[in-house]
Structure formats: structure tokens, C-alpha cells
Structure 1
Amino acid sequence: MEFNKTEYFTFLYWIRRLLLYSDYLFSFLGTSLNLLLLYLLIRIKNNEFLEYRRILFHTTISDIIFSPTIAFSALAMEPGKNYIFAWPTGVINYLPKYLRIVKGYSMNNFQYGTSILFIFIWNIIGFNFWIKAFTDVSLRDYHLAKKELPKEFFFDSYGNEMRVFIAKPLEFSGLLCVLHVLITLIFVLITVCFTYLAVLKTLKVKRSSMSKKSKLLHRQLSISMLLHTGISLFSVFLPIFLLLGCIIFQKKLYGIGHIFFYIFEYIPTFNALISIYFVTYCKKEFLKLIGKHKTNCHNKLIELFEMYAPKVGHSHINFNGRIADILVKAGHDVTFLTPKLSNIAFINGTKLAKIISVEPHPYVAEKFFETSALKNMWNLDENIINAFDLFSSMSNLMIISCEHLIDQKEITQQIVKEKYDVMIAEYFTTCPIGLADHYNVSSLIVTSAMTFNDIVYPLIGLNFPSSYVPGSFMPFKEKMTYKERVINTLQYVTLKYYLENILFKKYEELFLRKTKTKFNKIKNNFGAIFVNTVPWMDFPFPITPKVHFIGGSGVPEPKNISKEWDEILSLRKKNILLSFGSVAQAFKMPVSYKKGIIEMMKEMEDITFIWKYEKKSDTLPLEIPKNVFISNWVPQNDLLNDKRITIFITHGGLNSITEAVSRGKVTLTIPLFGDQIRNAQMVERLNISKVFNKYQLSNSKLLIDAINHLLNNIDVYSKNVHKQQSLMKNRPFTAEETIIKITEFIGKHGNLPEMDLYSSKMSSFIFYNLDIILPALFIFLFFIICTIRAIIYIFKHFYLFKKKTKVE
């Protein structure tokens, strides 16, 4: 029966014309949708979904490359009894995509390159097999095949007869083609299965450290991956299996070739649609979960926060304990982890949180108070060497304590089992960042019981402005002399070098050895920084959006003083409170200092002195005057709240200064060591305090002069301190609100890498634009040199010419 052109054009012409242009449609849709998917993947920032993003990223890139060439590599076949119209080499195109994913798990660059080369060679071999099979078919076979296969395969869309590829699968050349397809099929199946299992294994490990809300969405993403892979395999394998079945059982499937050809062409489009749907669906569900928690954050939100607070001193414990209590009152479940550094009985710091206490390492307990700074703080010189010695000595003990904490397997298991959402830890050293990763806590907030710590600047990508911001242990104000700026800069450069080249490497070695964590990659992985200061009282310094001021959060509400203290304050019109804090115990000061203080008190008999002194009065070198009351403990905050206290003599600890400002008290600051030296300068510049050198405590006359200076100018000092007190009371957001809101925000959204300054990843050479400045300077100098030489040349030429003219 002859082919009816009229019937062909009537029924199939427009369909065939449409299908002819479908090649371009499929290529366009596949490329466009995968580009859209690529845009959505780039916008995924949540760390918990980065592994899925990496996998989908590779498949999307492969489909973008594959889409424009889909019509030339698609799987087309039409089985007859003895002949097949076929071109099934398209199956090989799926191997590079899966090999690229596997490369991230178990293949190095050489293995991956070798695999891609093998695929290329294998594809060429298959191509030649099919060409051989096609050319072995005689003209007689071709006419016999036209009777077995649908006639539309032999005519173009205009009804003109065309020569097509025909193969005989039961002959040697055809069997080679079939064998090539089978081997390829097996290799593809093994590769895909291995890829999928490797991905699932990795994601299973990562899911153990994910937040609860993220885990709820991973099933949908896993389904997306399964469909993404399954549709591709189905579109490839089904035609091959049907082809083999028809060959074995000598069956014909008229017209089925068109169906499989266009299904195969549509694979990149299907993949993109599936992935786009699941990515957008999971994004919406993720936002719904966040919104649900946000509306109930004060009463129904159940989140777990872990506080890490080494017992360095009472002020540090109180500061972090206060944060814990604020969060407990806000309805959160808080565990207070307190690794001890000594066997001395410290306070717990928190009244409401659960406590996990860790006994100190024997060596740390022995050496903690033997460090030169803590042992000799009354005689320690205020210089850069001693400041660095204090920091390095404490850092070395902290490293041992950090390792000791990691070795507490039971505590680690307990913390990991609880699945905390946020860890809040004091950044006294860098241990908390590694601990957060060790405990599988995805979000971290670091605190500073002091002012903004110098060691944080390079981690958050800021340059420490040593020209106008004094270092944490420097006795300078913001307006420094040349010598002071040199010392301040030298202090920071030395500290930065120690951090980056010694301390960080020690922690990196520790965590790599103990937990296999690459510390260098997570050293700035935190979501917020709580600083125990307020911006109007501290020296102004540059910050990032991750820095939050919570100064005053550690100041408890004052209570009414007891009858005993009330009677003492009523004895005289003026009262002075003298306290050097908890670490710097007054009984340990040199005898000459004690004599100077007592002689000063004796001379100023019209003032009542309340002195926090940890021993009995008989341990003092002189007899105590009648206007002096000694106690080993005083209700400092409650006394400062009393209007009868005129002056507060303090060591300059940040909590003591904040308490004094909150209660509107003028201070005489006698800094001993550490950040107290800077704190003293900080409040003196506001004209609310006067700094007194500790080495002059033996000189009672100088001490009397300093106190009289404050008393004679008490109106001026009181006015200034009351201004600071008003700022504390009327701040836009209280410290408690900041702590609660920021902690809940980080608990819901993670560490927010979007807010990290890129400068934290830059080298100093690029950060300071030296790659721009140096070439420009070179060009400028070159221009100056050329100009000078030109002037010299012109001058010499003119001078010699003029001289020659005169001679003539």
C-alpha cells in the first residue's frame, strides 16, 4: 500500500510540524526553568540546607548545559521484529551529572577527570558501534524495514521520503550496540545508586545537628531528590527495556518511539519543575514555622539555651548568670554550664537556671591564682608586657580547661541529647565557638563581661582604631599622645599576632585532635555579641549589626538596707563606701597601702567609711578609727542606692562602675589590673569619676587631696553622673529586652552569616587597599622622578646653550 500524502497532511501534518519545533521549545523551557531554579538555589542561605543546595546546584548546571543539545542526544527508538529505528546514546549524558555529585563525597580531582574522560571515550565507542550497525544494513533490508516500522519515520514533515537509520539487532554489529547499551545502563544504575546512598548518609549525619523546624522540611526535600532522580532514570531505562524486550520476543511497538523521544527531551524541564516546586514549598513552610513560633515566643515557645560561663571571677559569673535568669523569666529552658578554674568556692551566678558544674583540671586549679597578674595584682605594673602576660597566662589555662571540658563524655552526651537551640558563652577565649560545634548547637551568642574585647575585632572583620580607641588593658583616653598611640598600636598588633599565629592554632589543633573540627573555618561563627557596656558611657568604637549593648543587665534591683546599715549611714552627713571587688581582696594589699588608707580615714573624721575588708580588724597594721566600719561583705548595690552615700571608692570593675552610675554615685577609681585600668579612664573622661594611682595609696595626703577634690566639686560631678543615670533609665530598649529579643531571634534564624562583614575573609593587603595604593604611589613617584629629571635636563641644556652662546 502506497503512502497517502493527502491523508498524511490531513491527520499528521500539523502535529508533526508542532513536534518538529518542540525541539526548540524543550530546549528553551529546560534552559529557562533551570536558570530560575539556579537563582532560587543561590538565595538559599540557611546553613542546614547547604548540602541540598550543593546537590541540586550540580544537577541544575548539568541540565542547563544539557538542554540546548537535547534534540541531538535524546533517546529515540522504534522496535520492529527484525529491525529497529534507534539512536540510544543519550543515556550516557546522565553520567557526568551524577559523577559530579559523587565527587564531593568519594572522588578526588584525578578520579573525577579520569571518569569524565572514560565517559567521553565510551560515548565515542558507542557512536561508532551504531554507525557500523547502520551502514551494515543493505538497501534490501531497508525496504523490508519499511514494512515493519511506521511509515512516518521515513517521511519528513512535508511528506517527502528521507533516508533514516536502520539497524539489525540480531546481527553482530547490532548485538554490539545492544551490549554497549546494557553495560552503559548498568554503569549508570550503579553510579546513581551510589550517589543517592552517599547523599543520604551525609544528610543523615548533618540532620543530627539540625534544628527541629529544619528537620520537618527535609522529608520533602528528600522526596524532591528521589523524584528528580527517578524521572530521569525512568525516562532512560524504560525505552531501553522495551527495546530489549521487543528484540528478544520479536514484537513491534508502532509509534512508541515518538513518545519516548519527547519524554526524554523533557527531562531537564521536569527536573526543574519538581525542584522549583519543592524549594518554594519548603521556603513557605519554613516561614510559617518561624511565624508560628514568633507569635507565641513569650509563653509557649520551648527553646533550650545553654550558658557557658567559666568561673573566672564573681563579676563574670554574675553577668552571665543574670542573662540566664532573664531568659528563664522569659519562659525559656536554660542550662548554666560552669567549668571551674579553681577550687575556691565561687557563687553560682544564677538563681533560676539549671546548673551543670564541672570540677577544675588539677593543674588549672593549682596554677590559676599563681599567675603573675592574679597573685601580684596590688604590685603589678600597668604596662603592655604585664597586660600581655595576664592574657597569655589565662589563655593557656583556658586551653587546658577547654580540653578538660571536652573530655567530660557524660556531660557531652547529656548536652547533645538535650538538642539545644542556642549556646550563649563568654568570649574570654575562643573555646566556646568550638564547643558549640562539639555540642551540635547550631546557633551561638558570645558575651563579654568587660567592654568590647580587642580579640573580637579581627573575627568580625573590623579594623581596631588604635589611634582613638584605647585597648582593653590600656590606661589611655581617646585623645592620646604620640607615645600613647605607639603603645596602643603595639599592644593590639602584638595581641592580634598572638591570636592568629599562636592561640587560634592551639585551639585548632585541640579541636582537630579531639572533635575533628576545623576550628579555623568556624572561628567567627556566631550570631550576636552581648557587650557589658552602654555606648554613651564607653569610648565610641566601630561595631557591626551583630554587636548589642546590654550594660546594666547585671545590676539587680536594690533592696532596702538593714537596720544596722541604716544606723551606720545616719551617724554622719557624709559616707564613703570602699570596696575593691571579689578578686582583689583588700587583706592582700601591701602593708604600706593599708597604713595610707587608715591614716586617710583617721584624718577625715567627719566622714563615715565603710570598708569591705575580708579579714578581722586585728590583721590591720594600725588601729581602726571610730569613723570606720569594716565588713567582709557589704550589700554594695543596696548601699549605693542610698542617698547618704557620697562617694564610692572602687577598683574600676565594669559591674561596679555600672552599679555606681545606675545609682547616681560619684566614684574615686583605683584600678588594679586588666580592664579596670581602661574603665577608670573611660568614666574619668565623662567627669563623673577621678582616677587615683594604686601605687600612691601609701601616701595618705595624696589620697585625702583626691577625695577632697571630689567633695569640693560634688555638684559638678553629681550633675554629670545623674545625666548618665538618666540615660541608663530612659534608654530606648532595656538590656533585658535586648537579651530576650536577640536571643529568640538568633534561636529562630541561626547565626545570620548575611550580617558578617566580608572583610573578615580578606587579607590585610587587600583590606587596606595596598594593591591600589602601592601601584598608585609607584606611578606617582615615577612621575615625580621623570619630572625632576626633565627639569634637570632642560636646565642643563639651557645653561650649556647659554654658556656656549656667550663664548661665541
Structure 2
Amino acid sequence: MFGYSHTKFISQMANVIADHGHNVTLFQPYHIDMKNTEWLVKNKNIEVLNYYPDHFEELTKIKHPTFPVFWDSKVVNNPVLSAFIVPKLFCKEFERTATQTILDEDLHEQLRIRKFDVALVEVFEISGFYIADLLNIPSIPIASVVRLNMYHELFGQPSTVGYVPTDGSKMSPEAGILDRFNDFYRIYFDNLLFENLAQRQNDYIEAAFGRPVPKWRDLISQSPIYITNSNSYLDFAVPTTATVVHVGGITMNLKKSVGDLPEEYEKILQERDSTVLISFGSVVRSFEMPDNFKAGIIRMFESLPNVTFIWKYEKDDVEFQNKLPKNVHLKKWVPQHSFLSDSRLKVFVTHGGLGSTMEVAYSGKPALMIPVFGDQPHNALMLERHGGAIAYDKFGLADGEKLERIMKDLVTNPKYEENAKKLQEVLHNQPIDPKLNLMKHLEFAIQSVFPLYL
């Protein structure tokens, strides 16, 4: 239990598997005191096994890590330096709970008596692979993101250089030799970041046992499949192998009716013909944004008085509110899904987290993608290539005039909505349901492949 998007993806995976008649235990070790996640588990037959470490009371007194440093730090935004700094930051959050789970023999017995056929483990925090190995349970790696090149390569996928642009590169056909160098450079250090992240975890797990343990590469690569949160119709086309299974879209419930917006939002939507929603997610928060970024956004607000802006701003700040023009509403929380389903919302401004990227793609709304860190630059370029979104450098937030031009174009130019609707139609009518794709591959691995290894 660490990041909301990770928890949502894994919980939905559990729902899908349980809906298809399998017995599912959702094992959730807490790295932070995450709250309000119970509703993610829809199937009542799922057994939720929460693991609260010895220091959990200490975690309840700590604010959730939100990493404001990712906004504008030249250190963590440098691919070379971040390859060494980011693993250290995350492993600091993981280590205490992870080492407890792998040494807790009572926990191991609780898991052993359930006689699991398989364990699905996310690659972001890898202690689950070691628990599965201790219990002699086959494990399948899953990733709640579109692409982690290092893990894809473990399953035979060639390099994506020349197929997928990285942060700072142009997309084909405009890409030139310098873009190719940038792609190679960034992919190399991105792989190094995740290799360092996995190795650091491998090292403290080995130290906890006091003896050599299997290497993380060996534990992960022995699986017959690797499940990712990519969608072939949304993502870039890349050379791949049958072992990499794409299930992106399983978190989207197309049959679910969207509830009415609360009255306070109905009134806001009626103020002007055009309304824009702004949300930067929960890990990097709006109120921690640098002042020069905020100043650029305010200049955009002032330059577009005929547009209503609703900004998810996680702090009550009367002084800041007084700096804003009357066409801006600050809200600590917004019903994002309901907004994206409302025809009166013209544009969604987002950090490009994969959950938000999926939601806006399936909703057919134009978007301004402003990635902050992690997989967000990839998600922004991935959505932009379909013509309904614009990827925008976060350091350009300080340029209010440029923001105004882009926002005005997104609101008034019909091509963005037309292209967004085309993508929506493709996703809603894709020939293979991502949920069915998940189940077919999972059941195949359990029934036909794993017995060959046991």
C-alpha cells in the first residue's frame, strides 16, 4: 500500500479474477497509512488480508509522502542523478515493512495454508516475489504502468529506441538524430533507475535473511507471462513478444452509470459556456507548486475571463484565493470521473498519471498533459499522438502567455474534441476486452504452463 494508482490497478485485477470464479486473496502490506481504498474492492468474495507492520502507529502520524521536490528540482529531474537518488527515496519508504513481511513466519504460515496456485506481484516493490519463493508458489509479475523497459526486456521485448519518444524528443516523422540520441540516453538511465531500485530491495532483503537469496532478475523472469497496464490501441506500436500481456483498460467500467454532479458543481458549470478542470493528482500536489509556476497559471486565468476553471487545490488558502480572478474555483477534492463524463467540460488539465490518462482517453475529452515525473512524460506523448491532447513541459507553466495560447486553442479548436472522440470510439469498440485478455492469459499460465515447471 503505497501509491493510489498502483492500489487501484491491483484491486481491479483482483475484482476481475474473482468475477471469473477464482478464489482471490488481496494481500496488502502497508508502507504508508493509506486510507479510503476499501471501496476499490467490489467483489465480496475477495479476501482482503491487510498487513500492518510493527511501526504502523508511527505511520499514522506521518503525512503521506508527496515528493514536492519533483516539481522543479534540477537534481531529481536530471536523468543521470535521478537514477541514483529516486531509488534511495522509494526504498527508504519500503524497507521496514518489506523486511518484516519476509521474516514474519506467522504470516508465511497464514499464506501457506491457503494453498495458492499462483501469486501476482507488482514489480515496483518486489518483496512479494521473495515471499512467493519462500512458500514455493509460482509468481507472475505485473506492472501498473504502461512500460518499464528493463522488465519488458527480461521477457524478450527489443529496445523501444526509434519507436517510442522519450521526454524531450520529437515524435516520428519529425524526430532526427539528436532525438534518437536523447532516447538512447534517457532509456539507459531509466533502466538504471529501476535496476538500482530492484537491487537496493534485493540487498536489504538479503541482509534481513543473513544469507544469499535468489536474484530479483531470476525470480521475475522465470514467469511465462508479464502483465502490464498498457493498451495496444492507446500506446505506441512497438516490437514485442507474446509473453508481454497488455490489460490496460481493466480499470474502466463502461457499463457503470455516472452519477449526477453535486449542486455546487452544477452551479459552477452554468457560469460560462466553457469549463476547464485542473488536477495534478495526489502524489505531487498543486499547493506545493513553485510560486513562479502558479504565477504563470494565474496569468492564463486572467487572460481567459470567458472560461471557468476548477482547480483541485488541496489546501485551504484564503490569501492565495484572493489572488485569483472570479472565473477560478479552488476545490480540495473533485469528482473527476463525473466531470469527464459531462459534456459541459471542455478540457482536462492533468499531470498524466496513467489513471487520469485512461479516464480522459475513454471519456473523449481534449486534454493538456503536464507531466511531472515518472511515467507521466510517456503517458503525455502517448495521448498526444492521437491528436486530442497536447503534451506541455512543466517548466513552461511559468509562461502565462504561452499557456493562454494553448488553452485558448484547446477550448475553441474543434479538431481536439474530434480526435479525442475518435480515440474514445476505438477504445470502446476494441475487439478484445482487456479483462478477457487478462483472464485468458492468466488461466493459460496456471493450467498449461506452470505445471511444466512444478
TM-score class, shorter-chain normalisation, is 0.7 to 0.9
| Structure 1 Cα separation of the partners of residues 12 and 30 of structure 2 | 18
The answer to whether the aligner puts 1:547 opposite 2:244 as a matched pair is yes
| Structure 2 Cα separation of the partners of residues 475 and 360 of structure 1 | 41
| Structure 2 Cα separation of the partners of residues 636 and 390 of structure 1 | 32
Shift of 1:562: 2.8
The answer to whether the aligner puts 1:612 opposite 2:312 as a matched pair is yes
Q: Secondary structure at the match of 2:26?
A: strand
- Which of 702, 709, 726 aligns to 2:409? It is 709
Shift of 1:383: 3.1
Deviations 1:43-101 (A, max 9, x none): xxxxxxxxxxxxxxxxxxxxxxxxxxxxxxxxxxxxxxxxxxxxxxxxxxxxxxxxxxx
The residue that corresponds to 1:469 in the other structure is: 164
The residue that corresponds to 1:314 in the other structure is: 4
The structure whose Rg is larger is: 1
| Structure 1 Cα separation of the partners of residues 159 and 114 of structure 2 | 39
8 Å CA contact 2:84, 2:193 repeated in 1: no
Q: Secondary structure at the match of 2:442?
A: helix
Q: Secondary structure at the match of 2:146?
A: coil
The residue that corresponds to 2:327 in the other structure is: 627
Q: Secondary structure at the match of 2:410?
A: helix
Q: Secondary structure at the match of 1:697?
A: helix
The answer to whether the aligner puts 1:654 opposite 2:354 as a matched pair is yes
Shift of 1:665: 0.3
The answer to whether the aligner puts 1:350 opposite 2:350 as a matched pair is no
8 Å CA contact 1:669, 1:689 repeated in 2: yes
Deviations 1:278-329 (A, max 9, x none): xxxxxxxxxxxxxxxxxxxxxxxxxxxxxxxxx2321111111111122222
**Identity between Structure 1 and Structure 2 (%):** 26
The one-letter code sitting in structure 1 at the alignment partner of 2:41 is T
**Structure 1 stretch displaced more, 398-407 or 492-501:** 492-501
The residue that corresponds to 1:725 in the other structure is: 424
- Which of 364, 369, 374 aligns to 1:674? It is 374
Shift of 1:727: 1.2
Structure 1 residues 473-484: aligned runs within 5 Å: 474-479=167-172, 480-484=175-179
| Structure 2 Cα separation of the partners of residues 502 and 393 of structure 1 | 7
Q: TM-score, normalised by structure 1?
A: 0.50
| Structure 2 Cα separation of the partners of residues 509 and 562 of structure 1 | 48
8 Å CA contact 1:595, 1:621 repeated in 2: no
| Structure 1 Cα separation of the partners of residues 314 and 178 of structure 2 | 40
The residue that corresponds to 1:581 in the other structure is: 281
Structure 1 residues 36-185: aligned runs within 5 Å: none
Structure 1 residues 92-491: aligned runs within 5 Å: 311-343=1-33, 345=35, 347-348=37-38, 349-352=40-43, 353-359=46-52, 374-381=67-74, 382-389=77-84, 391-394=86-89, 396-397=91-92, 398=94, 401-442=97-138, 444-470=139-165, 474-479=167-172, 480-491=175-186
Shift of 1:396: 3.0
Distance 1:501 1:449, change over 3 A: closer
The answer to whether the aligner puts 1:591 opposite 2:287 as a matched pair is no
| Structure 2 Cα separation of the partners of residues 578 and 506 of structure 1 | 36
Shift of 1:686: 2.1
Distance 1:369 1:503, change over 3 A: farther
Distance 1:617 1:707, change over 3 A: same
| Structure 1 Cα separation of the partners of residues 197 and 25 of structure 2 | 32
Q: Secondary structure at the match of 1:616?
A: coil
8 Å CA contact 1:552, 1:659 repeated in 2: no
Distance 1:641 1:621, change over 3 A: closer
| Structure 2 Cα separation of the partners of residues 361 and 462 of structure 1 | 41
8 Å CA contact 2:273, 2:344 repeated in 1: yes
- The structure showing larger relative contact order (alpha-carbon pairs under 8 Å, at least 6 residues apart) is 2
The one-letter code sitting in structure 2 at the alignment partner of 1:402 is A
The one-letter code sitting in structure 2 at the alignment partner of 1:704 is E
| Structure 1 Cα separation of the partners of residues 398 and 154 of structure 2 | 43
Deviations 1:782-802 (A, max 9, x none): xxxxxxxxxxxxxxxxxxxxx
8 Å CA contact 1:337, 1:355 repeated in 2: yes
The one-letter code sitting in structure 1 at the alignment partner of 2:73 is L
8 Å CA contact 1:478, 1:539 repeated in 2: no
Distance 1:521 1:463, change over 3 A: same
Distance 1:340 1:507, change over 3 A: same
Unaligned stretches of 5+ residues in structure 2: none
Distance 1:496 1:315, change over 3 A: closer
The residue that corresponds to 1:749 in the other structure is: 448
- Which of 224, 228, 235 aligns to 1:527? It is 224
8 Å CA contact 2:140, 2:220 repeated in 1: no
8 Å CA contact 2:108, 2:131 repeated in 1: no
Q: Secondary structure at the match of 1:380?
A: coil
**Structure 1 stretch displaced more, 670-679 or 488-497:** 488-497
8 Å CA contact 1:594, 1:620 repeated in 2: no
**Structure 1 stretch displaced more, 334-343 or 578-587:** 334-343
Distance 1:680 1:510, change over 3 A: same
The residue that corresponds to 1:602 in the other structure is: 302
Shift of 1:641: 0.8
Shift of 1:663: 0.7
Distance 1:403 1:383, change over 3 A: same
Shift of 1:628: 2.2
| Structure 2 Cα separation of the partners of residues 470 and 686 of structure 1 | 14
Q: RMSD of the alignment, in Å?
A: 3.1
Shift of 1:584: 1.5
| Structure 1 Cα separation of the partners of residues 190 and 356 of structure 2 | 27
| Structure 1 Cα separation of the partners of residues 128 and 231 of structure 2 | 24
| Structure 2 Cα separation of the partners of residues 625 and 690 of structure 1 | 25
| Structure 2 Cα separation of the partners of residues 689 and 394 of structure 1 | 32
The one-letter code sitting in structure 2 at the alignment partner of 1:749 is S
Shift of 1:418: 0.6
Shift of 1:482: 2.7
Deviations 1:120-151 (A, max 9, x none): xxxxxxxxxxxxxxxxxxxxxxxxxxxxxxxx
Q: Secondary structure at the match of 1:357?
A: strand
| Structure 2 Cα separation of the partners of residues 369 and 465 of structure 1 | 38
Shift of 1:344: 5.1
| Structure 2 Cα separation of the partners of residues 667 and 356 of structure 1 | 38
| Structure 1 Cα separation of the partners of residues 427 and 135 of structure 2 | 37
Shift of 1:497: 5.7
Q: Secondary structure at the match of 2:70?
A: coil
Shift of 1:716: 1.3
Shift of 1:637: 1.0
Structure 1 residues 770-781: aligned runs within 5 Å: none
The residue that corresponds to 2:399 in the other structure is: 699
Q: TM-score, normalised by structure 2?
A: 0.86
Shift of 1:711: 2.4
Deviations 1:519-577 (A, max 9, x none): 36433122322221211221222221122222221124351223413332233221111
Q: Secondary structure at the match of 1:523?
A: helix
- Which of 211, 218, 235 aligns to 1:538? It is 235
The one-letter code sitting in structure 2 at the alignment partner of 1:642 is D
Deviations 1:411-470 (A, max 9, x none): 22111111111212211144333332123322x332211112112133213332323334
| Structure 1 Cα separation of the partners of residues 136 and 353 of structure 2 | 34
